[in-house]
């Protein structure tokens, strides 16, 4: 079994663009690895579980092949979300055939408990665990940064995780247990490279947890997944997905493992949404989703709406899902995955992202790992500095957000970021990273 000493700071030296090009030459192709298009995931985030269930069943009946359960208090709930209770989960999934859809639990403060709720539901329905496709969405780093608190100390968290993981393995459900989620950091202003560096640091932290639980890393890797944001810039989104695969392969090689393919979930960016033109929101979301899926993301959520229910009701959801289906099955976005030319023109950008992300990852490692870096505010400082640069670019007109000043086509309420409630409990606190909208810089 790989020892913990093999995943130390000295394991990850600096790498320049030429080195990343060599990694690419030695790697398996990043495209054409799946026979089917990506999984089309719809969010289940209505605060009313019965209403959420009606919407979920409608989504599945109309082409969705995955569901993402978003609970209240989640950093990516944006003010909505199912009640964080077992009965709410059961009600939301009533009538859903669990072995015919991919299920994911979005990262939230009670992720560990919700994994037990889902396991209990699986047992009550006598579902065959081996036929299920599930992501339990546990990521302490994203929860910490997105809510500003942890309910136990970092030391206690690390001590408790081995027991939690042993319980998971006893359930016998294949799938992602620990996720490295970059969406909180993206929606707060992180660059693509920063987002990638943070998720790689989180994934390495997960590997260390598996080692401490005395689990062989070769068996642990399939239970680690990634979640990233997809933007309307399809080139950068595609490059981000491709770069993430290279980065994770490099981490595995340096941990003396034969690289396994990363499990990547992409969700369309919140920060790119405007509150004044929901039609353009849907266009942005579908373009972003197609970029992520074509580059090789395994599961993709199209979120064309704001937290305002007027922009995210059944009609808007249906239109976004239908647009996603057209992109996959009619526009041929899925065929790009099998094209030898896919990614060729992205090579320079991918290598540059890898180099910059690796630098961010090594910086976080030097700050004693992702949780301690967040606790000390180092990650937040860099993310907020990037946000200021991004806002300045949009404010000056150097970058544009179409429709940001369009007062027409308003559907319902204006877009609100839906900041989480102030911390009510916790043992350790940090500066919270809140989502923002690019529109705020140009309005």
Cα gap 316→411, rounded to integer Å: 10
Considering only the C-alpha atoms of the chain, give the largest distance between any 2 of them, rounded to a whole number of Å: 61
Q: Which residues of the chain have pLDDT under 50?
A: 1-5, 28-36, 306-311, 338-343, 406-415, 417, 422-423
Cα gap 443→441, rounded to integer Å: 6
Given this model, what pLDDT does residue 235 score?
A: 84
Q: Which residues contact 66 (CB under 8 A, 6 or more apart)?
A: 39, 40, 41, 42, 101, 102, 103, 104, 133, 299
Given this model, what pLDDT does residue 199 score?
A: 98
Structure tokens at 120: 């209990």
User: 179: which strand partners?
Assistant: 225
Residue labelled with tokens 């209505």: 46
Given this model, what pLDDT does residue 415 score?
A: 46
Residue 324: count other Cβ atoms within 10 Å of its Cβ.
Answer: 29
Four-residue CA torsion sign, 416, 65, 259, 119: positive
Helix (H, G, I), strand (E, B) or coil at 135: strand
Q: Residue 80: is it exposed, middle or buried by C-beta count within 10 angstroms (0-12/13-18/19+)? A: buried
Distances (CA, A) of 404 to 102, 244, 439: 35, 31, 6
Distances (CA, A) of 211 to 140, 261, 324: 17, 20, 40
Given this model, what pLDDT does residue 284 score?
A: 85
What's the pLDDT tens digit per position in 94-110?
A: 999 998 999 999 999 99
Given this model, what pLDDT does residue 106 score?
A: 95
Cα gap 429→376, rounded to integer Å: 10
Could you say which DSSP state residue 258 is in? -
- Could you give the angle at which helices 111-124 and 154-171 cross, rounded to 10 degrees? 10
Given this model, what pLDDT does residue 102 score?
A: 94
Cα gap 55→320, rounded to integer Å: 14
Asked if residues 151 and 426 have their Cβ atoms less than 8 Å apart, the reply is yes
Domains of the chain: 4-442 (3.20.20.240)
Given this model, what pLDDT does residue 86 score?
A: 96
Asked if residues 204 and 2 have their Cβ atoms less than 8 Å apart, the reply is no
């Amino acid at each position: 079994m790989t020892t913990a000493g093999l995943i130390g700071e000295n394991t990850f030296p600096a790498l320049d663009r030429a080195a990343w090009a060599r990694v690419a030459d030695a790697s398996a192709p990043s495209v054409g690895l799946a026979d089917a298009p990506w999984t089309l995931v719809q969010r289940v985030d209505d605060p009313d579980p019965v209403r959420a269930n009606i919407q979920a069943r409608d989504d599945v009946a109309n082409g969705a092949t995955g569901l993402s359960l978003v609970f209240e208090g989640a950093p990516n709930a944006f003010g909505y979300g199912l009640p964080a209770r077992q009965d709410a989960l059961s009600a939301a999934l009533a009538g859903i055939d669990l072995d015919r859809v991919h299920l994911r639990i979005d990262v939230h403060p009670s992720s560990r408990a919700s994994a037990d709720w889902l396991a209990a539901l699986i047992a009550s329905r006598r579902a065959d665990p081996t036929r299920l496709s599930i992501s339990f969405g546990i990521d302490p780093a994203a929860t910490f940064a997105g809510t500003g608190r942890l309910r136990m100390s970092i030391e206690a968290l690390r001590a408790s995780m081995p027991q939690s993981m042993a319980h998971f393995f006893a359930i016998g459900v294949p799938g992602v247990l620990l996720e490295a989620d970059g969406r909180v950091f993206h929606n707060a202003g992180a660059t693509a490279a920063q987002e990638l560096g943070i998720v790689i640091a989180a994934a390495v932290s997960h590997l260390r947890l598996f080692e401490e639980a005395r689990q062989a890393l070769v068996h642990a890797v399939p239970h680690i997944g990634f979640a990233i944001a997809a933007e309307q810039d399809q080139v950068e989104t595609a490059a981000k997905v491709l770069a993430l695969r290279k980065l994770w392969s490099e981490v595995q090689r340096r941990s003396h493992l034969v690289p396994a393919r990363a499990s990547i979930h992409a969700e369309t960016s919140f920060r790119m949404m405007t509150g004044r033109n929901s039609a353009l929101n849907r266009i942005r979301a579908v373009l972003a989703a197609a970029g992520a899926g074509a580059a090789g993301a395994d599961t993709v959520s199209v979120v064309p709406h704001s937290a305002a229910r007027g922009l995210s009701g059944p009609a808007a959801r249906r239109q976004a899902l239908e647009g996603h289906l057209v992109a996959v099955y009619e526009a041929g976005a899925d065929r790009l995955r099998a094209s030898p030319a896919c990614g060729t023109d992205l090579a320079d950008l991918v290598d540059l992202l890898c180099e910059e992300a690796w630098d961010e990852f090594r910086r976080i490692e030097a700050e004693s790992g992702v949780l301690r870096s967040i606790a000390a505010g180092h990650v937040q400082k860099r993310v907020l500095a990037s946000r200021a640069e991004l806002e300045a670019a949009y404010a000056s007109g150097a970058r544009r957000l179409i429709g940001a000043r369009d007062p027409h086509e308003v559907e319902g309420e204006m877009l609100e970021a839906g900041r989480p409630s102030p911390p009510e409990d916790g043992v350790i606190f940090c500066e919270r990273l809140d989502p923002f909208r690019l529109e705020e810089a140009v309005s």
